Structure 1
Amino acid sequence: MQLIRESFGGACMVFKATMFFFLAIVSFGLASETHINAEPTHQTDANKVKWPNTQPVLRFAINHFPPYSILSEGKPPAGMNVEAMKIVAEQLNMRLKFVECPFARCIVLLEKGLVDVFVGLTYSAERAEFLHFIEPPVAPGSVQTFFARAGSSISINEFADLDGLIVGLLRHSLYFPEFDKATNFAKVEANTHMQLIDLLLNKRIDAFVGSEQRFNYLLHEQGLTDTILQQNYTIRDDRKVYLALSKHSVHSDLAESFSEALSYAKNKGVFETPFDGSSSEELQ
């Protein structure tokens, strides 16, 4: 009888051990299955990660300069210069970024390398210290003239008529050598074309200088063609107008590539003037 109890007890122990082993295997299998089922969820989340845009950014300094560059609230920049730079950026496989700035500020940003390019600058030795002037030029030159208030005693028929006047000009702009170097009249600088118009309307200056086409367009746009009149004295300056690339830009060593891209854009006719065809840019 004792032998039967011992045999039965041993069988029970074997059965318990077998069941423990079986449950352990099942538990391990379930754990493994749970881990495997969790894996696809992890992969799905990883696939949702958005990789950064790897195209280089081309920072295009732009001021309100219709019809060449037009900045309107709530609308993307437009105009011939904008269309040209879109083509240039596409040819260079770059992503175009617009940096809006008054003209004087744009020049400062170029000098510091905080923007890469600007369209519509004339060459000077001072500017060449921090800018590449990309060939081909975008225009051969511009007609410069003077504007005064209607009804004022100001009449500018020749350069000598500027003697003693207070003349407004755009800060950092170049016009024509005789004017740029002159000291026989006072010069008042403004940051924007509209500031020049405001200065004249408020009688802070006697006249201002600028592109004939540019200001006729702007005065018509503002309804001021009977209030501010173009003077008889004009001068054709043949200094070429360029796309300028900052020497402090990360793209500074790509001047040749910019030249090729600009040639492609120019051959597409994007710089053709909407006026009389004599010029496509104001000298700045």
Structure 2
Amino acid sequence: MLLLLALFFSFSACAKNKDLLACIDDHPPYQILGDTPRGIHISALHKLASLLERDLKFLQSPNFARCLVFLERGEVDVIAALNPLAERKDFAFFAPFKPADALRVISKDGLQISSYYDFKDKIIGVSRGVRYFNRFDNDDDLQKIEIQNVRIGFSLLQKQRIDLIMVSPAMITAFSDEINAANLKVSPIALEEMRNKQTFFGFSKKNKLGIDEAEIQKKISEAYKTGYFE
């Protein structure tokens, strides 16, 4: 009887750890929610699951901030594209999976942004829970308002409720119709030198993968160097 109980609990532990649960929010073209989620980061998560020999499952969230809460609690195992900030290292560990994307400024009709100093006195939409780069994130002199996500940001730009948002070139392509219809401006300002050079998976320290943290980081780092996630 004791042997049977031991085998049962051993089997239950293995079954518990067979999945990789990722939290995703609406963030096209990286993450597009639906019955079958798709996007650039979704593809990377599928490759991650294969690398770790786990079955990928998704928890679809209304925003990125909620995903962070789930990660901190250990209710999900991983988030794609989580910056390794000091305040997050208490509950998460990180591994790079691709070079960081560029960052561009989209501004409302009639407004051109030529340098970081042009951010002053502008209403800037920032996606809930997202960190951009240290200088901006810690600049308390700027007027920032929280928005649900970038999709809402484009809508507010069209209505001239905000002055600018920051997005990647891939998102500019994904929202090209909205940008052209509202005559929004794509700024030439370059922000790359202010940002992280890599994009990271963020894993909960309370994850249920049953794999050592160092082993996860080693596997992903080695795969990243070979271009596995491209």
Per-residue CA deviations over 1:249-276 (Å, capped at 9, x if unaligned) read: 223752233234424653664543xxxx
> Can you give the 5+ residue segments of structure 2 that lack an aligned partner in the other structure?
1-10
2:21 is the alignment partner of 1:59: yes
2:191 is the alignment partner of 1:231: no
Indicate the residue corresponding to 1:87 in structure 2: 47
CA–CA separation in structure 2 for the residues paired with 1:253 and 1:92: 9
Aligned-residue offset at 1:110: 0.8
Structure label with greater radius of gyration: 1
**Cα gap change, 1:80/1:166 in structure 2, threshold over 3 Å: closer, same or farther?**
closer
| Aligned residues between the structures | 214
> Which residue of the other structure, out of 206, 209, 212, is the alignment partner of 1:251?
209
CA–CA separation in structure 1 for the residues paired with 2:127 and 2:45: 24
> Which residue of the other structure, out of 71, 74, 78, is the alignment partner of 1:117?
78
Amino acid at match of 2:173: Y
Indicate the residue corresponding to 2:100 in structure 1: 141
> Which residue of the other structure, out of 177, 189, 214, is the alignment partner of 2:146?
189
Indicate the residue corresponding to 2:122 in structure 1: 165
Classify the secondary structure of the residue corresponding to 1:142: coil
2:165 is the alignment partner of 1:208: yes
The answer (yes or no) to whether the contact 1:87–1:261 under 8 Å persists in 2 is no
The answer (yes or no) to whether the contact 2:134–2:195 under 8 Å persists in 1 is no
The answer (yes or no) to whether the contact 2:93–2:202 under 8 Å persists in 1 is yes
**Cα gap change, 1:226/1:270 in structure 2, threshold over 3 Å: closer, same or farther?**
farther
Amino acid at match of 2:103: Q
Per-residue CA deviations over 1:180-229 (Å, capped at 9, x if unaligned) read: 11122210011211111122222221111232x13312322x44335222
Q: Which has the higher contact order (CA 8 A, sep 6+)?
A: 2
2:108 is the alignment partner of 1:177: no
Per-residue CA deviations over 1:57-97 (Å, capped at 9, x if unaligned) read: 211112233333333x44x1223322332233233332211
The answer (yes or no) to whether the contact 2:147–2:153 under 8 Å persists in 1 is yes
Amino acid at match of 1:163: K
CA–CA separation in structure 2 for the residues paired with 1:247 and 1:86: 20
The answer (yes or no) to whether the contact 2:97–2:221 under 8 Å persists in 1 is no
Indicate the residue corresponding to 2:3 in structure 1: none
The answer (yes or no) to whether the contact 1:87–1:265 under 8 Å persists in 2 is no
**Cα gap change, 1:160/1:92 in structure 2, threshold over 3 Å: closer, same or farther?**
closer
CA–CA separation in structure 1 for the residues paired with 2:195 and 2:107: 24
> Can you give the 5+ residue segments of structure 1 that lack an aligned partner in the other structure?
1-50, 273-284
Aligned-residue offset at 1:104: 1.8
The answer (yes or no) to whether the contact 1:83–1:270 under 8 Å persists in 2 is no
Structure 2 length normalisation: TM-score?
0.81
Classify the secondary structure of the residue corresponding to 1:234: coil
The answer (yes or no) to whether the contact 1:148–1:200 under 8 Å persists in 2 is yes
**Cα gap change, 1:82/1:185 in structure 2, threshold over 3 Å: closer, same or farther?**
closer
Indicate the residue corresponding to 2:7 in structure 1: none
Per-residue CA deviations over 1:139-165 (Å, capped at 9, x if unaligned) read: 333322221122x3x221111211111
2:65 is the alignment partner of 1:104: yes
CA–CA separation in structure 2 for the residues paired with 1:185 and 1:108: 26
Structure 1's consecutive aligned runs of 4 or more residues displaced over 6 angstroms after TM superposition are none
Q: How large is the RMSD of aligned CA atoms in angstroms?
A: 2.6
CA–CA separation in structure 1 for the residues paired with 2:81 and 2:144: 23
Classify the secondary structure of the residue corresponding to 2:180: coil
The answer (yes or no) to whether the contact 2:94–2:217 under 8 Å persists in 1 is no
**Cα gap change, 1:138/1:93 in structure 2, threshold over 3 Å: closer, same or farther?**
closer
Structure 1 length normalisation: TM-score?
0.67
Kindly report which structure 2 residues correspond to 1:11-26, keeping only aligned pairs within 5 A, or say none. none
Q: Among the aligned pairs, what percent are the same residue?
A: 27
The answer (yes or no) to whether the contact 1:148–1:207 under 8 Å persists in 2 is yes
Q: Between Structure 1 and Structure 2, which shows a larger proportion of helix residues?
A: 1
